[in-house]
């Protein structure tokens, strides 16, 4: 944690801030070890405070051992946080805050309480998490392995005749059985025409023979997420659907091949995957980005899309997940979570990508 705090302090230095209030739960966990919510950190050159209410005092003492606990007692935790900041930093200090995660009401309360100046640090603190260390990579490998195993167990039980929502619940039960904390995000299980919605919500729709089924899921292990999508054939699919599957697979392999230290999320990875889909005539049916970073949050930096892309560096973890969505017919998406290395990418999800015909 000391190295993480040091890097956070370097950001303060860089921005000329006296301190920063950190309220984004994944950042709070990353910097302090504390796993609860409704909690804020204040970090300056020489203090590290954790400000939370009575529900979390004991947990904060246990988990955020290097932090001094500020016991918030009022109805407005921001008031307690600002008071603590003023005591340690001086009332007139420049204070950074995370505009992306503070609500407008919270900002107004902060504005009212803090006499000094405020500055939105954007995602600067969150970006401290973008390069994973060896221990984080280890946990993410386990999250990937658990996800692979759960998906295999669920699909083994068949798809035809089951409701989408039942398959989604089955995945969650497998994660529990395998010792994960839970799922990284609510699973998508979308059959037939429903699969054309990239972020479909699983429902009572019964999976029929001949349909493609998109399953997008991930386990959460020790706070860290995994993210995989496979598209299965519930019974033998029509030749056109097989062709679409082959195009998406070729695109995904091209995207994966472009992942390496120094590559660009937009210019290299997204471009490589998109070029395959465009060449096959499905360019307009691939409307989302090719991937995103994964870590304590399931969607985080770096971006790998047409509209948002970042340079990749060794130690980042991201997804590669092109798709083709044909309204009224089907969707196909194939996604892996990948560790960026000096020479390429190491897949953290290893489930087979050959089109599996499942009964």
Which residues are near Zn ion by CB under 5 A? Answer: 216, 227, 229, 319, 335
Q: How far is the CB of 105 from Zn ion (least distance, A)?
A: 31
Whether the Cβ atoms of residue 189 and residue 231 lie closer than 8 Å to each other:
no
In the complex with Zn ion, the residue whose CB is nearer, 8 or 228, is 228
CB within 8 Å of 158: residues ≥ 6 apart: 358, 359
Q: How far is the CB of 299 from Zn ion (least distance, A)?
A: 7
CA–CA separation, 142 and 175 (whole Å): 12
Whether the Cβ atoms of residue 350 and residue 228 lie closer than 8 Å to each other:
no
In the complex with Zn ion, the residue whose CB is nearer, 208 or 253, is 253
Q: How far is the CB of 291 from Zn ion (least distance, A)?
A: 7
CA–CA separation, 30 and 52 (whole Å): 16
Cα–Cα distances (Å) from 105 to 13, 22, 78, 101, 297, in that order, read 28, 16, 11, 12, 24
In the complex with Zn ion, the residue whose CB is nearer, 227 or 268, is 227
CA–CA separation, 44 and 107 (whole Å): 20
Q: How far is the CB of 120 from Zn ion (least distance, A)?
A: 27
Total Cβ atoms within 10 A of residue 350: 12
In the complex with Zn ion, the residue whose CB is nearer, 164 or 335, is 335
In the complex with Zn ion, the residue whose CB is nearer, 67 or 224, is 224
Tell me which residue of 92, 79, 93 sits closest to 43, measured CA to CA.
Answer: 93
Q: How far is the CB of 52 from Zn ion (least distance, A)?
A: 31
């Amino acid at each position: 944690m000391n190295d993480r705090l040091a890097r956070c302090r370097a950001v303060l230095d860089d921005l000329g801030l006296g301190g920063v209030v950190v309220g984004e739960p994944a950042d709070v966990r990353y910097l302090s070890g504390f796993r609860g919510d409704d909690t804020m950190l204040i970090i300056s050159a020489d203090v590290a405070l954790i400000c939370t209410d009575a529900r979390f005092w004991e947990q904060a003492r246990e988990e955020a051992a290097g932090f001094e606990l500020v016991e918030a007692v009022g109805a407005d935790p921001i008031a307690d946080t600002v008071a603590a900041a003023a005591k340690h930093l001086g009332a007139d200090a420049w204070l950074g805050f995370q505009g992306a995660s503070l609500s407008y009401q919270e900002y107004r309360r902060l504005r009212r309480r803090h006499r000094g100046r405020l500055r939105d640090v954007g995602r600067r603190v969150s970006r401290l998490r973008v390069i994973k260390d060896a221990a984080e990579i280890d946990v993410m490998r386990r999250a990937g392995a658990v996800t692979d195993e759960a998906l295999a167990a669920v699909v083994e039980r068949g798809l035809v005749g089951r409701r989408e929502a039942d398959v989604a619940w089955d995945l969650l039960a497998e994660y529990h059985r395998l010792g994960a904390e839970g799922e990284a995000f609510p699973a998508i299980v979308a059959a037939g025409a429903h699969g054309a919605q990239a972020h479909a919500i699983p429902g009572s729709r019964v999976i029929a023979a001949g349909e493609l089924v998109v399953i997008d899921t991930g386990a959460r292990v020790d706070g860290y997420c995994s993210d995989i999508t496979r598209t299965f054939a519930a019974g033998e699919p029509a030749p056109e659907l097989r062709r679409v599957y082959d195009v998406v697979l070729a695109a995904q392999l091209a995207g994966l091949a472009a992942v390496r230290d120094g590559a660009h999320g937009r210019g290299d990875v997204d471009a490589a995957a998109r070029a395959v889909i465009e060449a096959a005539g499905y360019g307009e049916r691939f409307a989302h980005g090719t991937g995103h970073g994964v870590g304590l949050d399931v969607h985080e930096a770096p971006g790998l899309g047409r509209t948002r892309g970042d340079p990749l560096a060794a130690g980042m973890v991201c997804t590669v997940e092109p798709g083709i969505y044909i309204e009224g017919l089907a969707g196909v998406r194939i996604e892996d979570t990948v560790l960026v290395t000096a020479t390429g990418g190491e897949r953290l999800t290893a489930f087979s990508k050959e089109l599996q015909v499942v009964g």
